[in-house]
Structure formats: structure tokens, C-alpha cells
Structure 1
Amino acid sequence: MVSLELNKIPEELYQCLVKNAELHQRSLNSEILDCLAIQMFESNIKNRSNQVSIRNLLSAEELKALLSTEDDR
């Protein structure tokens, strides 16, 4: 798995991520990965000319693997 370091995150964004992580009962790392994954899926869907649902882009197992982190295992 690849590691990524984020720098200079605006305080408001950081606090929002922390609150959402607490709300979803997961680590900050897991929350950030989930937000990124959702954004990428939405972007892929918007960029496709035909209407494809997220379920058709990835199987349930692939989506679960993508959204899970070492913190969750």
C-alpha cells in the first residue's frame, strides 16, 4: 500500500474531517480515504456519457477492499 502525507490542510477542513471521523466511528485516515474514494467515484460517473451506477463500476468486494484500511482490519 502507498503512503501519502498531507500538508497545509486548512483548519476548518481538518476539524470537519475529525468530526466526520468521530461520527462514523473510524480513524481520521479511514475518513480521508473514504472521502477521496467517494469523490473519485462521483467524478468518474460525471465524466461518463452514459449513466452508470456506482454498483456497476465496482463489485461490492472491490468497493469494500478499496474503502478498508489497515486501521479497520
Structure 2
Amino acid sequence: MPDPLYLVLYQIATQGKRSNMIEMLSAIMAYDPVIEPMHFMQMDVLKLRDKPAYQEVVNAFSELDVGAEEPNYPEFTCRLRQ
């Protein structure tokens, strides 16, 4: 079962629900959740789809940064590149 952090990151990264993303993440991050690989996978998707939104999240929560390398998804399995 996905945890609340994963669910919010999923909504931000894949559904474009960015209107109050920092507020939602602030509420969850206040509980100091354990950051799992599944959270970083959603951050990779966000980085591919919307770099400004990714940067806004990372500026607020540096622990969610996936690093400087560009995520590499095969074209035939991930059509998220803009």
C-alpha cells in the first residue's frame, strides 16, 4: 500500500496536481517520513515532466532531490518527455 508521501508525489508527477503541492508536501514532511526508492522514482517522473515544479519541490525539501543526472527512461515505455 503506498504511503501518503508516495500518493502526493504520484499526483504531482503524473496527474499534474500542482496547485497546492508545497502545502500538501509540507503537511506530510512535518512527520519526517522515511524517504524510500519509490519516492525518488516519482521525483524522477516529475523531473522529466516538469523541471520547474521539480525544482520547486527540491528547493522546499532537499531530501527529495534525485541528483544532477538526467533520468533515463526508454522512449517505448515512458512517453513523458516534453
Quick check: TM above 0.5? no
What's the TM-score once normalised by structure 2's chain length?
0.27
Larger radius of gyration: 1
Structure 1 or 2: larger helix share? 1
